[in-house]
Structure 1
Amino acid sequence: MKDAPINLLDYDRQGLEALFLEMGEQRFRASQAMKWIYSEQQLDFAAFSNFSKTLRAQLADDYIAQVPDMISEKVSKDGTVKWLLKVDDVNAVETVYIPEKNRGTLCVSSQVGCTLNCTFCATGAQGFNRHLTTAEIIAQVWVAAKQLGHTAQDRKITNIVMMGMGEPLANYKNVLPALNIMRDDFGFGFANKRVTVSTAGLVPYINQLNQDADVSLAISLHAPYDELRNQLVPLNKKYNIATLLDSCKNFVQNKRKARITIEYTLIDGMNDLPEHAHALGKLLKQLPTKINLIPFNPFPGTAFKQSKPQNIERFKEICMKHGLITTVRKTRGDDIDAACGQLAGDFMDRTRRSATIKKIPLGVVA
């Protein structure tokens, strides 16, 4: 039985160079193939006109260049777009585009569901099925670019954030090549600072990312001390706040001038009191950061409520008095369940809810 064909979107330039060398071709074929796939948005090998007929036939026999089928496209009244993409026969993931006056942000998923089970997140409440492949991750950018008419000359997408479904660093081996393609001149050509990885705090992989990719880092903190964060982000029981912030300090020192984005979801009566704001200010005073306050976005089944507007503003003012750059994220796409914390996709849960963090393969990646 013939093996399933290899999807070329699973490989960054280094991986494609190795692949073409195995085929007896020169390394430059990798950059040519990437230009066809990502710049020209061409998935048909027959159209690769600078490849020989023999090479095109060989590619057609043994390889594919394939992206997921789109199940649906929903457009919010504020212009936010959410795509539901079919990744296999039983699973689909969501990708969100948020247009603003001077930027367009694409929120990309990394897993089918999530194992971390953060209590305020719809994705975690749905469970977990599997990791996305590199091809399924980068294909979200490909599909969005195609739908939006994004080109090198007309860049509708200016920023990419790995903040969709899943914990990106739990799927490190597939996320890293996708990050490389996003930033490669023969891929999508995004500047390093315009690609952001958001994590709930997988410290070993933060340290690894620090060595492997010059990208921006966002931390889903949501609480200023361990007892509270243990309730909101169960991963904190494994890597507490002090350990997490130490890894952030190392990240900043290595990248120089970089600021860590601290994501803090404000939940009514849970983590939005003045005492929490003051504690957060003291906690972050030695770390170059910017705080992104996120009003909690309700989802079916949650008991949490969004903080009152006056409490959000009070929290912001206290943080700023501590000398911290602080902004409030405007809720976008909530009418199509595309706002932060609302992504749920459509998938079969294979995770027992009592077994989450234990199943994440931690440690340094070879």
Structure 2
Amino acid sequence: MEPQAPITQDVMTIKRVLPEGGPMNIVGLTRVQMRDELIGLGVKEKQAKMRVNQIWQWLYHWGVRDFDVMTNLSKDFRVTLAEHFKIELPEVVTKEVSNDGTRKYLVRIAGGHEVEVVYIPETDRGTLCISSQVGCTLTCSFCHTGTQKLVRNLTAGEIIGQVMLARDDLNEWPEQGQSHADMGPRLLSNIVLMGMGEPLYNFENVRDAMKIAMDPEGIQLSRRRITLSTSGVVPEIARTADEIGCQLAVSFHATTDEVRNKLVPINKRWNIEELLKALAAYPKVSNSERITFEYVMLKDVNDSDEDAHRLMKLIEGIPAKINLIPFNEWPGAPYERSTQARIKAFADIVHNAGYASPVRRPRGEDIMAACGQLKSATERARKSRKEIEADAGM
């Protein structure tokens, strides 16, 4: 993938008026948005698409952070880009590395807010768990992140920026002139939207960021290697298939509305019946692209044989796999992890019913990076066990 030769004739019409409020962050703009911004600067419409392709390649294929390095653009045009735009990623405040190799990044975004990002290396893949909101509105009672109030949605640039900073840390940008294939197996091969926040409550920004991740001229991740996890925002589920096309996971966690109302309060708005109807109709669902049902194993809450049999009945007819998650405890948590024997018995019932039932191996527990443990350092005021139980209606 070689850079195209510079073309200089369009720069004569570039507007030299500097933007109000300082340069705009170009990271996170869609191709259409970037094209419109360039035309607004005076780039001729016939040239704008090519200019977008050139800038896109530098940003998302080679990971360049300086317009001056973009040598297939004229020098004057590079100066103008630097005047009107900036290339800005979330700031890595700290990086912790677990005994099992998991990396947790605390990153700071605009406004001084912080979110956490987790990279999980495995033998056949490297998965990056990214956040979509600062905090969360859902208050799921078993989730540490849910004890933090929602501050704001992340922008598309802040979402794709998490992917880019992880690639920085992994040194996984091709050299100029190289393709991804030249670098061998990817260290960051998969993205899961399972960090802080509910992705479907920030749909447009998540969509735009994932479109950038999947773009064939940039980071080039397959849609099958991106999984969006939702707690059940029913109206946005079909839209996810149509506008993103990624894999879908649902935080299910209970087999009755009574229990799910406590564990996942969004169930009071869209109950199990409504959620399952939306999942059964998910346009992408098939035997080759199954929906993942995430099910955290909570001692004496949702882990009985009766729960397992009821779960099998509920999802009947939906191509699915059940991802059993041993509860990852955190300070003040009102629940305990199911015993290994109970998890195995539950998994056996699921398996015997013909469904894949992997038990997720907890990763990064020693650095509070495991599923359900993420919470930004600036928002770590602990709720007491009594307060959390009260919120859960226990």
Where do 1:65-80 residues align within 5 Å? 65-80=87-102
Match 1:132 to one of 154, 179, 197: 154
Structure 2 unaligned segments of length 5 or more: list them.
Answer: 1-18, 174-179, 381-386, 389-394
1:61 aligns to 2:83 (yes or no)? yes
State how far apart, in whole Å, the 1-side matches of 2:276 and 2:152 are: 29
Deviation at 1:255, TM superposition (A): 6.7
- Counterpart for residue 141 of structure 1: 163
Deviation at 1:347, TM superposition (A): 3.9
Deviation at 1:252, TM superposition (A): 4.4
Match 1:176 to one of 194, 197, 207: 207
- Deviation track 1:313-344 (CA, whole Å, cap 9, x = no partner) reads 01100111221111100000000000000000
- Deviation track 1:120-155 (CA, whole Å, cap 9, x = no partner) reads 101111222111111110010000001012242241
Match 1:166 to one of 182, 190, 197: 197
Deviation beyond 6 Å, 4+ runs, structure 1: none
Q: Which amino acid letter does the alignment assign opposite residue 311 of structure 2? A: L
Match 2:226 to one of 171, 189, 195: 195
Deviation at 1:213, TM superposition (A): 1.6
Where do 1:185-264 residues align within 5 Å? 185-252=216-283, 257-264=288-295
Where do 1:242-321 residues align within 5 Å? 242-252=273-283, 257-321=288-352
State how far apart, in whole Å, the 1-side matches of 2:372 and 2:244 are: 26
1:113 aligns to 2:135 (yes or no)? yes
- Deviation track 1:212-241 (CA, whole Å, cap 9, x = no partner) reads 121100000001121111110000011111
| Structure 1 contact 252–260 (Cα < 8 Å) conserved | no
Q: Which amino acid letter does the alignment assign opposite residue 27 of structure 1? A: K
Deviation at 1:254, TM superposition (A): 6.5
Q: Structure 1's 4 and 235: CA in aligned 2 closer, same or farther, altered over 3 A?
A: farther
| Structure 2 contact 287–319 (Cα < 8 Å) conserved | no
Q: Structure 1's 312 and 252: CA in aligned 2 closer, same or farther, altered over 3 A?
A: farther
Q: Which amino acid letter does the alignment assign opposite residue 146 of structure 1? A: D
Deviation at 1:246, TM superposition (A): 1.3
| Structure 1 contact 8–63 (Cα < 8 Å) conserved | yes
Tell me, what secondary structure is at the counterpart of 1:219? Answer: strand
Q: What percent of counterpart residues are identical?
A: 41
| Structure 1 contact 285–322 (Cα < 8 Å) conserved | no
Q: Which moved more, 1:156-165 or 1:255-264?
A: 255-264
Deviation at 1:70, TM superposition (A): 0.9
The TM-score normalised by the length of structure 1 is 0.92
| Structure 1 contact 111–168 (Cα < 8 Å) conserved | yes
Q: Structure 1's 89 and 20: CA in aligned 2 closer, same or farther, altered over 3 A?
A: closer
Structure having the higher Rg: 2
Deviation at 1:104, TM superposition (A): 0.5
Q: Structure 1's 256 and 180: CA in aligned 2 closer, same or farther, altered over 3 A?
A: farther
Q: Structure 1's 256 and 344: CA in aligned 2 closer, same or farther, altered over 3 A?
A: same
Tell me, what secondary structure is at the counterpart of 2:218? Answer: coil
Match 1:3 to one of 14, 21, 24: 21
Q: Structure 1's 90 and 273: CA in aligned 2 closer, same or farther, altered over 3 A?
A: same
1:322 aligns to 2:353 (yes or no)? yes
The TM-score normalised by the length of structure 2 is 0.86
Deviation at 1:54, TM superposition (A): 2.1
- Counterpart for residue 31 of structure 2: 13
How many residue pairs get matched? Answer: 351
Q: Which amino acid letter does the alignment assign opposite residue 41 of structure 1? A: G
Deviation at 1:19, TM superposition (A): 2.5
- Counterpart for residue 60 of structure 2: 38
Deviation at 1:256, TM superposition (A): 7.5
State how far apart, in whole Å, the 2-side matches of 1:67 and 1:74 are: 19
| Structure 1 contact 90–348 (Cα < 8 Å) conserved | no
State how far apart, in whole Å, the 1-side matches of 2:313 and 2:230 are: 22
Q: Which amino acid letter does the alignment assign opposite residue 99 of structure 1? A: P
- Counterpart for residue 368 of structure 2: 337
Deviation at 1:17, TM superposition (A): 2.6
State how far apart, in whole Å, the 2-side matches of 1:207 and 1:76 are: 37
- Counterpart for residue 9 of structure 2: none
State how far apart, in whole Å, the 2-side matches of 1:327 and 1:206 are: 24
| Structure 2 contact 245–284 (Cα < 8 Å) conserved | no
State how far apart, in whole Å, the 1-side matches of 2:89 and 2:74 are: 24
Report 1 or 2 for greater relative contact order, CA contacts < 8 Å, sequence distance ≥ 6. Answer: 1
